[in-house]
């Protein structure tokens, strides 16, 4: 996409479905007007916290109102790659000397003050106390719920960002903390493996994950389940073991057959997998899909020329933006079909 217009108010004419946004903080190194697609803009806006008018150094009203990031003000001290990789998806427009007036830009996508999530307690399915998780709520009336399951790294900010992005797209999202507060640094796969192998997958699925699904069902809402890596395997286990589920989307995770019999998948199931993956191998994916079809059932599986973990924008070594965007688009269409 090439920037070819100087008037932000005409952004939609040059780039249909895109939005012009003023960024005064210079996060990318150059303050100015940028154009971004709706999903990327929604991701950024969902990552903001609500801020009183005039608060925060260098954050002006148009920035807050139009959903661009207050990166240095809000996220200082956190993993700053949370936002930075998205700038591969952004083009800069020639900018005026001062911020454009709000009337010159497109209407707001949503009320960002409701978009930031928080940690909550919810009932375990077995009634034995509470589980904790990160909940991001949508402003859409009677929004369906999606339960989001972590990678083997734990409940990282990236997974919380997935919840925020789902909320921005019209779905409540709840990510159970299956490691009880432990988040493993990305440079320590041995520690991540230790955490994952210490997890009782069946108990976690039957109680914490099912409890999160029931959190939505008790409100009379449809509920889906999605997960990444380890969470993808939990998603497939849930597709067999959680009766309240309406649909599931798995990302690069296949459990052992003894944990989830492919013939017992009971819900519409979509999957996104990487061609370069020595954990959830293409051969394992093919075998699972064949077993489901042999049972007379259907799954919607997709393979990408990418590495395991390609959706995780915090991990530059594996993140593949085009594949991640395509997978997200397919997932959102799937949710719309099965959850509404």
Beta bridge partners of 301: 271
State the average pLDDT over residues 110-127: 73
Q: What is the pLDDT of residue 116?
A: 61
pLDDT digits (tens, 9 = 90+) for 76-100: 333 222 222 232 223 333 333 443 3
Q: List the 18-23 sheet strands across, edge first.
A: 18-23, 32-37, 91-93
Measured distance CA(302)–CA(87) in Å, rounded: 26
What count of residues does the chain have? 340
Structure tokens given for 138: 């949508």
- In whole angstroms, give the CA distance from residue 296 to residue 302: 19
Handedness of CA 228, 230, 236, 241 (dihedral sign): negative
Q: What is the pLDDT of residue 37?
A: 45
pLDDT for 316? 87
What number is the average pLDDT over the span 143-157? Answer: 96
The 3-state DSSP class for residue 93 equals strand
Other Cβ atoms within 10 Å of 65 Cβ, number: 16
Question: Tokens at residue 246, please?
Answer: 């309406």
3-state secondary structure of 143: coil
Measured CA to CA, the distance from residue 310 to residue 322 in angstroms comes to: 10
Residue 73 backbone dihedrals phi, psi, to 5 degrees:
-80, -45
Tell me: the pLDDT tens digits for 196-237? 999 999 999 999 999 999 999 999 999 999 999 999 999 999
Alpha carbons 59 and 164: distance in angstroms, whole number:
21
286 pLDDT higher than 50: yes
User: H or E segment at 333?
Assistant: helix 321-338
Q: In 47-141, which residue ranges form alpha helices assigned H by DSSP?
A: 61-66, 71-74
């Amino acid at each position: 996409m090439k920037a070819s217009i100087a008037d932000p108010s005409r952004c939609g004419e040059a780039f249909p479905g895109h939005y012009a946004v003023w960024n005064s903080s210079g996060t990318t190194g150059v303050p100015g007007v940028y154009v971004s697609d709706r999903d990327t803009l929604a991701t950024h806006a969902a990552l903001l916290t609500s801020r009183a008018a005039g608060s925060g150094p260098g954050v002006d009203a148009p920035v807050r109102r139009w959903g661009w990031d207050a990166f240095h003000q809000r996220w200082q001290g956190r993993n700053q790659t949370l936002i930075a990789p998205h700038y591969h998806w952004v083009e800069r427009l020639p900018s005026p000397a001062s911020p454009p007036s709000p009337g010159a830009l497109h209407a707001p996508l949503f009320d960002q003050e409701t978009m930031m999530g928080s940690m909550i307690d919810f009932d375990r399915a077995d009634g034995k106390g509470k589980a904790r998780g990160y909940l991001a709520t949508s402003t859409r009336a009677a929004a369906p719920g999606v339960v989001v399951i972590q990678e083997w790294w734990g409940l990282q900010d990236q997974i919380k960002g997935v919840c925020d992005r789902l909320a921005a797209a019209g779905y409540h999202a709840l990510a159970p903390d299956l490691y009880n507060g432990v988040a493993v640094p990305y440079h320590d796969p041995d520690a991540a493996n230790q955490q994952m192998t210490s997890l009782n997958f069946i108990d976690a699925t039957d109680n914490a994950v099912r409890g999160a699904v029931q959190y939505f069902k008790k409100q009379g809402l449809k509920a889906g389940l999605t997960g990444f890596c380890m969470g993808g395997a939990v998603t497939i286990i849930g597709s067999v073991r959680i009766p309240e589920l309406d649909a599931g989307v798995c990302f690069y995770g296949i459990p052992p057959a003894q944990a989830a019999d492919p013939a017992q998948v009971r819900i519409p199931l979509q999957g996104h997998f990487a061609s370069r993956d020595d954990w959830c191998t293409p051969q394992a994916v093919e075998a699972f899909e064949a077993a489901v079809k042999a049972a007379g059932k259907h799954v919607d599986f997709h393979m990408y020329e990418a590495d395991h973990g390609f959706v995780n924008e915090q991990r530059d070594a594996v993140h593949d933006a085009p594949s991640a965007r395509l997978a997200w688009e397919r997932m959102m269409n799937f949710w719309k079909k099965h959850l509404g």
